[in-house]
Amino acid sequence: MPKIYLIDVTNRDGVQTAKLGLSKLEKTMVNIYLDEMGIFQSEFGFPTTRHETNYLQANVELAEMGVIKNLHLEGWIRAIVADVETAFKLVPRLKHLNLSISTSEQMIQGKFQGRKTRDDIINEMTRAVDAAWAHGAETVGVNAEDASRTDLDYLLKFGVTAKEHGASRLRYCDTLGYDNPFTIYETAKALAEEVNIPIELHCHGDLGMAVATSLAGAKGAIDGGQDAYINVTVNGIGERAGNADLVATILAVTKSKGFAEKYKLGGSVDLTKAWKIAKYASYSFDVPIPINQPGVGSNAFAHESGIHADGVLKDPENYELYGFEELGRGEPELVDTGRQISAGEYSGVSGFSHVMGKMEVKFASKEEAQEILELVRYANVQAHKPLVEQELLFIAKYPEVARKLLTLVP
Ligand SMILES: [Zn+2]
């Protein structure tokens, strides 16, 4: 039976969102947390963008060192040969790529404005896929941007041609969140049956249905005989109204009525890491988690009304579908409350040693402490906020990788 895998796109769709961004160290921590959680793949950034180069190389190195263990690190570029060439020039050891091009009539007319025909789009895509293989890519996904507004016959032709050139997966992008669960089910099933490769579902929340359409699309792909890869972001952060939320999607797949009897997550996803990654993304993006967010919102397990409180005390299952422990809630906060001595861009070695000492990190010499502190200061300049324990530990443990992440040379 085909399965459902998760591809997190926080480090691409999330960071390209208006008014939001992450430092390179923060993006790295997101990858590390996704890996700990057992997520299949992270779309970890933009290989043709110069300020991403050191970050992308450093993360590929972390994977080679075994610090990032199972997570696939995949770069996102346009489906044109020039982008493939640049990507492998800047990040030579890149293994996984997704190539994106618009396929809808709206985009062909409205975006390309007559410069590209439907055939041009397919030709550019296939040349880019061929180039990616020639450069030694291990997997090459092909993205149909605005697929939900693309006429199905053309989309099928696009997918079949991608498959003929060896594409590993076809990403069906509901770029504007236009689909509903009924329409995406039919389309995903048709794509799986006719194109005959695994289908990615990339859904947005403009109509409030990103998780629902993702599930329905996954069901369509599996009913059509193919694995489904749902694109998610941490806390649903993404363009406009956002993407399918990572935690809500896992909950919906595993806990909704009867779904998991037939449609199962592949690999081993550890839901108890949900709390940690959601809190971290909220802190690093500086975007609070809505109180009613599934699983991780502050009200997700709060009961006040008499009937509900009484019911949940008698048996939690009266008013809860899942327990708070399952999400890893209740761990210490990322940032100290009460008295704080934080490590920042103007910290001194004494305060810094105090902070690190609390985490049982001891330095061999004052020089070593000074050197790590220097890196912490730079990280703080980029993040504009006190670093969390895991970030400080990362810098202390992998100072050379941290130095590379923090180096931005225009
Ligand atoms: Zn998107």
What is the tens place of the pLDDT at every residue in 106-131? 988 888 888 889 999 999 999 999 99
How far, in Å, is the centroid of ligand 1 from the Cα of 238?
A: 7
How far, in Å, is the centroid of ligand 1 from the Cα of 8?
A: 11
Name the percent of the chain lying above pLDDT 90: 78
Instruction: Note the pTM of the prediction, 2 decimals.
Output: 0.95
**Contact status, residue 74 vs residue 96, Cβ threshold 8 Å:** yes
**Contact status, residue 95 vs residue 137, Cβ threshold 8 Å:** yes
Predicted confidence (pLDDT) at residue 133 exceeds the cutoff of 90: yes
- Tokens (6 digits) for 304: 């006040």
- Tokens (6 digits) for 314: 């008698």
* pLDDT score of 315: 87
How far, in Å, is the centroid of ligand 1 from the Cα of 200?
A: 12
Q: Is the dihedral of CA 18, 142, 41, 275 positive or negative?
A: positive
Q: What does the alpha-carbon distance between residue 202 and residue 143 come to, in Å, rounded to a whole number?
A: 9
How far, in Å, is the centroid of ligand 1 from the Cα of 177?
A: 9
What is the tens place of the pLDDT at every residue in 82-102? 999 999 999 999 999 999 999
Angle of helix 366-383 versus helix 349-358 axis, rounded to 10 = 90
Please list all protein residues whose beta carbon sits less than 5 angstroms from ligand 1, which is an ion: 13
How far, in Å, is the centroid of ligand 1 from the Cα of 70?
A: 24
How far, in Å, is the centroid of ligand 1 from the Cα of 243?
A: 7
How far, in Å, is the centroid of ligand 1 from the Cα of 217?
A: 15
Q: Based on the number of CB atoms within 10 Å of its own CB, is 68 exposed (0-12), middle (13-18) or buried (19 or more)? A: buried
Q: Sorting pLDDT into bands at 50, 70 and 90, what band is 337?
A: low
The alpha carbon of 121 is separated from its chain's Cα centroid by a whole number of angstroms, namely 27
- Tokens (6 digits) for 21: 């961004």
Enumerate helices (H) and strands (E) in the chain, giving the number of each. 15, 8
How far, in Å, is the centroid of ligand 1 from the Cα of 129?
A: 21
How far, in Å, is the centroid of ligand 1 from the Cα of 86?
A: 22
Q: Sorting pLDDT into bands at 50, 70 and 90, what band is 339?
A: low
How far, in Å, is the centroid of ligand 1 from the Cα of 196?
A: 23
How far, in Å, is the centroid of ligand 1 from the Cα of 204?
A: 6
Question: For residue 104, which of 51, 50, 49, 144 has the smallest C-alpha distance?
Answer: 144
What is the tens place of the pLDDT at every residue in 189-244? 999 999 999 999 999 999 999 999 999 999 999 999 999 999 999 999 999 999 99
**Contact status, residue 232 vs residue 243, Cβ threshold 8 Å:** yes
Sorted by sequence, the CB contacts under 8 Å of residue 19 that are 6+ apart come out as none
How far, in Å, is the centroid of ligand 1 from the Cα of 12?
A: 9
**Contact status, residue 270 vs residue 277, Cβ threshold 8 Å:** no
Predicted confidence (pLDDT) at residue 177 exceeds the cutoff of 70: yes
**Contact status, residue 224 vs residue 192, Cβ threshold 8 Å:** yes
How far, in Å, is the centroid of ligand 1 from the Cα of 18?
A: 13
Q: What does the alpha-carbon distance between residue 147 and residue 248 come to, in Å, rounded to a whole number?
A: 24
Question: For residue 196, which of 141, 144, 154, 156 has the smallest C-alpha distance?
Answer: 156
What is the arithmetic mean of pLDDT over 310-330?
Answer: 89
